[in-house]
Chains A and B, each alone.
Chain A
Amino acid sequence: MNNFSDVYFALRRKNKSQYALLFGCLFFSVLLITAYCLMMRSPTVMNTLPEGGDSRKQVMMIFVLSVIGCGAFTLYAAGLFFRHKSREIGIFLALGASKQTLVRKLRREVGGIALLACSLGMALGTPLSWLVWGVFRLTLIDTPEMALLFDLRAYGISAAFSVFVILTLLLMLSRFLGRTNILDIVSESHRAEPVRSVPRYYGIVGIALMTVGALLGYFTPSFCVKVLHWYAPDGLTAVFHLPTLIGLYMLLLHTVVNGWRRGRSRYPHLIATGMMQFQGKQTVRNMLVITVLIAGAYFAAFYVPMLVTPAQLGMKSRPEDYSFFFRADQNLLTQSQSEIEQMATKNGATVSDYMQQPSATLAVDGYEDVETTGKIGTTYTVEYREILASSRFLSESAWNALTGGNLNLAPGTVAAVFNSEGNSGGFISKDITLVTNPVTGQSLYVKSVEPVLKNDLLFKCRVLDDSDYAAITAGLTDEWQERQVLFNAENDNYTFAKELFHEIVARSGPEVELCDGYDRIIRARYIENGTDYFLEPENAQKFGSPIIDYNQPDSSVFRQYWLYMPQFRVLDQADFTTNMAVFLLLFVFVAILCFTAVGVILFVRSMTLVLINAWVYQDLRKLGASDQYLRKTARGQISRVFLAPIVTGTLLILGFYTLILLGNGEGGITGYEWAGLGNCLIVVAAISAALYGLYRQTLRSSYTQLGIGVKS
C-alpha cells in the first residue's frame, strides 16, 4: 500500500456491495426512464396515439410519476451510500486528510460511478425496449404498425434525467463534506433518523385528506370548465391534488411511527415498530415513492381491461351482425342486397334479416363555446347558434323497420339515439329545438322527447315523425342523404366480413375519405370565419388529426377513425386487439416498467432496512430471542414496507378509477364498466400474488442475511 489511492482502492474492494448498490440503483433508474422515454417518444406510438388524446396524457402522467419515483430512489441510494461512506471519510478527516483531497477523490469516484451507470442505463434502455416489445410481438400480437421505431430525441429526456442524477449526487457530496463537525461525519452511519412523535389522529386525518384531495383534484378541472367557463392551466388544477399527497404522507407516517395496533396487541410488534421508527424519514419517503409508483403502475395496467372488456361486451350485444351506412351519392348504391348475398354464399355464409333504410344529414341548433385567450388562460362564452352542427336523422318508420320497434312520435318532436347503456358519451345532445335543411334552408322547430332511444348501431342518430322527416328532407341532394344497412349472417365468418369491408372501401369515393367527427356544417362555419377546419384532410398534419387513407384500410387509424367505418361484429371482434395493439401494449409496457421499479425498490429498501438493523437482531439473540421471534420481527419490518404502500396505492387507484367512471358517465357506472372494473380486480389479484411472491423471496433473503435459521 503505497499511497492514498491504494487505500481507497482497498476500501472500495472491501465495500464493493455498497458501490454495487449505488451503481445498480442509478443504472436501474436511468434504464427504466430511458426505456420509457424511447417508447413514449417512439414514432410507432406517436403515430398511433392521437395528439392531445387521453391516452397520451395518461402515458405522460405515469411518466411524471416514474420520474418522481426514480428520482427519489436515486436520492435514497445516494443517501445510503454517503451514510456508509461517512465513517471512513470521517476517519480520514480525523487523521488529517485534507478536505480538498477527499472531495477530489470522492467527486471522481461518485461522478465516475454515476456517469458509468447512467451511460450504461441509457445504452441498454434501447435493447430493453426492443426486447420487451419484441416479446410482445412474438407472443401476443404482431401487426405491421408495431414495427418499433426510435426517435433519437427521446435520449434527450433520459440524458436530462441522467444529468439531474449526476448533479444531485455531486450536490449531496458537497453538502456531505461541507459539514465542519468531523464527529458528525464519523457518527453519520450510526445515526438514526427518528420521526418525531406523531399524533394518532394522523391516520384518520390522512385518509380524510386523501379522499378530499382525490375529489378536489378530479372535480376542480370540470368545475372550472363547466361553472367558471375557464380552461384552467393543468399546473394550477394539479395543486388541488396536493391534499392527497399530504394525506398520504400523514397516513404512512402514522403507519410507520404509531402502527394501527393499539393496547396490548402492539407488544408483539414492539421491536419491529421501534426499528421502523428509527429509520423513519427514509422509510416514509420510500413508502411514498412506492405508493405513487404502484398507483401509476395500476393506472397503466387497468387500461387494458377497461378498454377491452366494455368494447368486447358492446360488440357481443349488438342487435345485428352487420351495420354500415353510406352516402347516397356513392356508387355503393349499386351494392344491392343480392351482391352482398352472393359474396356471403361464396364465403359459406348466409345473409338474413337484411334491412336498408334511408337517413338524412341535417343541421341542428345548439350552443357553441366561443373561446377567448387572455391573461388567465382560455375562457369561453356560450353562444346560441341556429345552425350549429350536422346530425343524422331517421324517420320513425325507418327506425321501426331497422329496430323492429313501434315508435310513434308526435309531429314536431324529435328523439335522440344514445348507446345501449343510455349514454351520449358527449357526442349527441338530446335538447335540440331547430332542424334545418342544409340545401334548401327550410327549418323545422322541434321539441326533444324523453326517454331517449337506445341502440349501439344507430348511436348518435335522431328520429323524426314521418311527416316531419318528409317535409324537412324535401330538396336534399344525395350528398346529404345516406342508406343505413343492417343484417345478420348465418355461418358468419371473418373472410366474408373482411371482403365486404374491403369492397365498401373500394367503392367509396375520395369525398368520403374523411375521419370520424368530420362535420360539413361546422366546416362551413370555419371557412366563413376564415379559419382552417382542423378535420380537413389537408390540415391533418397541421392539427395532428388522424389521416384516413383508402390504401390502408386495415390500419388501426383507418379502422378507428374512418367516418363511415362499418360495424361488422366478427371483423371487429377478431381485429380489436390488432387495431388497438399499440395502445394496449404501450400500457402493458409501461405497467411492466413501473411494477419492476416497485419490485426493485421494495426489495432494496427491505434488505437495507433489515441490514441497517442487523445489530439489533444480534442483541435480541443475546437476550434469548428464538429464531421464530427473530423471523417474526423481520417479517414485521418487511411486511410494513410492502403492505402499507401496496394497499394504499392499490386502494387509491381503485377509488380514483371508480371516481373517473362515475364522473364520466351520465347515469353512474354502466354494466360494461362494472365488468371492466371486475377484470381490473383480477389484474389486482394477479399482481398482488406476484408481489406476495416477491415478499416471500425478500423474507427468505433477509433471513439468510441476518443468519436466522430458515423454517423448514
Chain B
Amino acid sequence: MLNVSNLNKSYQIGKTKYEALKGVSLDVEKGEFVAVMGPSGSGKTTLLNCISCYIPSDSGEIQLGGTDLAKLPEAAIAKVRNEKLGFVFQDFLLLDGLTVRDNIMLPRIIGGQVSASMEQTADRLCEVFGIAHIKNKYPADISGGEKQRTAVARALINSPELILADEPTGNLDSKSSRAVINSFLQAKQELCATIFMVTHDSFAASFCDRVVILQDGAVRRMLSRGEVSRRAFQDELLNVISEMSEVSGQ
C-alpha cells in the first residue's frame, strides 16, 4: 500500500541546516492502522507532510499503490490527494463558511464527482460517526470532538486508499479523543480504511496495529500490537519511550 524508502528531508534556518528525516523507511499494508510516535522534533509531522507531498523531500521514494508520489507533476499530485488520500489535521481545518455536511462533501466537490450518491455517502458517514444531528450546523457552533469527527468523515468521503492523520487528538479532551479514535476504528472495520496517524498520545497509539517510533529523524523502533490487550500495548509503548529517553539522556 504505502512504501517509504530512504526518505531524507532537511531545513535550512539561517546558516544552519537541520536534518529532519534521515533515511526513513517503512511500509503500511492495506487495512492497517499505523501510528508514528516520537518526541518533539523527531520528524513525525515532517514525515507525514512529505508523504502528503505538502512539502517536497530531498531524496528517497514514497510509493502509494506502486506510484512514486515524489515524481508526480503538480496536477497529478492534486489528483492523488483528492482521490487516494484522506487528511485529518490537528486543528481540523474545516471551512467556517460551510456546514458540517458541506465540509464532508468538499473533497467530492473539489474532484468534480458531484452526484446524488455523494449526499447519501455524506449522510451515511454522519450517521456512522454520530454527527448526523449537527450536519447542518457550522463549525463555529459545534465542539472540538465533533469538528474532528467531521474531519474524519471528510477524509473518508472519497474512499481513499490511505488516511493521513496529524495529531488528530492533539486539541481534544479525553472524551472527544476517544470518540475520534473510535471513528478511525469504525472506518478501519466498516470501511476497510488504511490509517497512518502521527501522535504524541500513547493512549491513541495503543489502538493501532503497529507503532513506528521516530527519534532524531530516524526510525528507532517498530512495535506490533499483535494479540495483546490495548492496555498492555500502551504499557509497552510507554516503557519503550521511557527507555529511549533515558538512553538519549532526556
Contacts and interface: CB of A to CB of B under 8 A. Distances in A.
Interface stretch (B74-82, B194-202, B211-219, B228-236): B74-82
A4 B109 contact: yes
Contacts of B107: 95-96
Nearest to A13: B97
Interface in A2-33: 2-4, 6-7, 10-15
A91 B93 contact: yes
Interface string A649-664: 0000000000000000
Contacts of A506: none
A94 B109 contact: no
Nearest to B110: A97
B93 A10 contact: no
B74 A7 contact: no
B191 interface: no
B54 interface: yes
Interface stretch (A178-186, A235-243, A565-573, A667-675): A178-186
Nearest to A14: B97
Contacts of A94: 52, 54, 81, 87, 89, 93
Contact of A97 (B78, B83, B96, B98): B78
Nearest to A97: B110
A182 to B, nearest CB: 4
Contacts of B81: 94-96
Interface in B49-94: 49, 52, 54-56, 74-75, 78-83, 85, 87, 89, 93-94
B97 A15 contact: yes
A180 B56 contact: yes
B241 to A, nearest CB: 26
Interface residues of A, number: 30
B98 A7 contact: yes
A95 B160 CA distance: 11
Q: Looking at B49, B80, B102, B106, which has the most chain A CB atoms within 10 Å of its CB?
A: B106
Contact of A96 (B78, B96, B114): B78
Given A10-B98, A11-B97, A96 B54 contact: no
A186 B93 contact: yes
A196 interface: no
Interface in A80-102: 87-88, 90-100
Contacts of A7: 95, 98, 102, 106, 109-110
A1 interface: yes
Interface string A372-403: 00000000000000000000000000000000
Contacts of B98: 1, 7, 10-11, 14
Interface in A576-605: none
Task: Name A's interface SS.
Answer: helix
Q: Looking at B55, B75, B110, which has the most chain A CB atoms within 10 Å of its CB?
A: B110
Contacts of A6: 109
A293 to B, nearest CB: 35
A628 B63 CA distance: 58
Interface string B105-149: 111011110100000000000000000000000000000000000
A92 B55 contact: no
B76 to A, nearest CB: 10
Nearest to B87: A94
A434 B111 CA distance: 94
A10 B102 contact: yes
Given A94-B54, A96-B81, A181-B54, A14 B96 contact: yes
B82 A96 contact: yes
Contacts of B87: 94-95
Contacts of A90: 93
Contacts of B52: 94, 182
B96 A4 contact: no
A652 B52 CA distance: 54
B112 A95 contact: no
Contacts of A99: 74-75, 78
A95 B78 CA distance: 8
A86 to B, nearest CB: 12
Contacts of B94: 91
Contacts of B49: 183
Given A11-B97, A181-B54, A186-B93, A1 B109 contact: yes
Contacts of A12: 97
A6 B110 CA distance: 11
A328 B154 CA distance: 100
A11 B95 contact: yes
A191 B96 CA distance: 18
Contact of B114 (A3, A15, A92): A3
Contacts of A92: 110
B55 A183 contact: yes
30 contacts: A1-B102, A1-B105, A3-B112, A6-B109, A10-B97, A13-B97, A15-B97, A90-B93, A91-B94, A92-B110, A93-B78, A94-B87, A94-B93, A95-B110, A95-B154, A96-B78, A96-B83, A96-B85, A96-B107, A96-B111, A97-B78, A97-B82, A98-B75, A98-B79, A99-B74, A100-B75, A180-B55, A181-B54, A182-B52, A186-B93
Q: Sorted from nearest, which 7 A-B pairs have the closest CB atoms? A: A96-B82, A14-B97, A96-B81, A11-B97, A98-B78, A182-B54, A97-B110
Interface of B: 49, 52, 54-56, 74-75, 78-83, 85, 87, 89, 93-98, 102, 105-107, 109-112, 114, 154
Given A94-B52, A182-B52, A186-B93, 8 more contacts: A1-B109, A2-B114, A4-B110, A88-B95, A93-B78, A95-B110, A98-B75, A98-B79
